[in-house]
Chain A
Amino acid sequence: MDGYGMQNQIACIRRSLFDQGYLDEQFIQLEELQDDTNPNFVQEIVTLFYTDSARLIQNIELTLNSRPINFSKLDDYMHQFKGSSSSIGAKKVTSECAVFRQYCAAGNAEAYISSLLPHIYTD
């Protein structure tokens, strides 16, 4: 495949992420902050997000596996996760966090998690 074909494909994938609601305009803000003096800004901040998210998900899992569930801690982790995903423009993750927090507020974390588990690692 030639260079143009590859770029075209990347552009299509990028556009579909917006169309499907995975990314929002905040991601565009990140792209706009990238320039010749900071050519890897998007990559750097997204990488930071992945590392940070992995840490948060691990903590969330631990909290969910402990009895009784510490909902205050859970809410704190979800607040952090929602915050960082929103700053990145990860729209779907942000809204899932918001929904999860509502379940937590209702004390219903387990019901939500069992419905969500297949999606957490793929989205």
Chain B
Amino acid sequence: MATQTQFHVLAVDDSLIDRKLIERLLKTSSYQVTAVDSGSKALEFLGLNGENEDEERNSSVESVSAADEDHQVGVNLIITDYCMPGMTGYDLLRKIKQSSSFKDIPVVIMSSENIPSRINRCLEDGAEEFFLKPVKLSDVNKLRPHLMKGITTKNEMQSNTNKRKGSEEIQSPDRTRPRYNELEVV
């Protein structure tokens, strides 16, 4: 039931300089950082290697660094560059949102190019924020609410599990409410 004491951010950027910068920005904000240089490495870190995600999870859930919330090291937010060779930040966003295990991890996109259609497409497809490069501390400060929301969700999920196990709360049998309608932090 422990709340994580430190948020873990996965940063994805093919530029060495930008990786160093984002790493410093995130560490200054007291986040734990893992920085990788490609979308495929990011997916590998999350344990989403192959086409069949469930297969990967079952076989490698203990060996991969970032598994689910009960693992010591989980990922609370992904921040990725848009323009990368191979898999773009947008491709990575889509893959994460299509994954049942990771679709709720907030994703933030960074880009040096101010293209409104690109920005809108990313936001519509699930990105929480879109930062224009060069990234500054004021941008990184915008991450906290998204990270806090994740903690609330996690605690709510755990409290739901606890409620189901005990039976002191009345739950309607055909309850189909969505997950996010409670804001109470246990």
Q: Is B83 an interface residue (CB 8 A)?
A: yes
Q: Is B24 an interface residue (CB 8 A)?
A: yes
The reply to whether A83 and B20 contact each other, CB–CB distance below 8 Å, is no
The reply to whether B134 and A44 contact each other, CB–CB distance below 8 Å, is no
Interface 9-mer from B11-19, B34-42, B114-122: B11-19
**Number of A residues contacting the other chain (C-beta, 8 Å)?**
22
Q: Which of B1-39 contact A (CB under 8 A)?
A: 15-18, 20-21, 24-25, 28
CA distance A35 to B24 in the complex (A): 11
Contacting residues, chain B, for A32 (C-beta < 8 A): 137
Q: Is A52 an interface residue (CB 8 A)?
A: yes
The reply to whether A83 and B15 contact each other, CB–CB distance below 8 Å, is yes
Contacting residues, chain A, for B135 (C-beta < 8 A): 87
The reply to whether B136 and A41 contact each other, CB–CB distance below 8 Å, is no
CB contact between B136 and one of A26, A38, A44 (< 8 Å): that residue: A26
Q: Is B133 an interface residue (CB 8 A)?
A: yes
Q: Is A99 an interface residue (CB 8 A)?
A: no
Contacting residues, chain B, for A44 (C-beta < 8 A): 20
- On A, residues with C-beta under 8 Å from B are 26, 29-30, 32-33, 35, 38, 41, 44-45, 48-49, 52, 79-80, 82-84, 86-89
- On B, residues with C-beta under 8 Å from A are 15-18, 20-21, 24-25, 28, 83, 112, 133-137
Contacts A35-B28, A83-B133, A84-B15 supplied; 20 other A-B pairs, CB < 8 Å: A29-B136, A29-B137, A30-B21, A32-B137, A33-B24, A33-B25, A33-B28, A45-B17, A45-B20, A52-B16, A79-B112, A83-B15, A83-B18, A84-B18, A86-B112, A86-B134, A87-B15, A87-B17, A87-B134, A87-B135
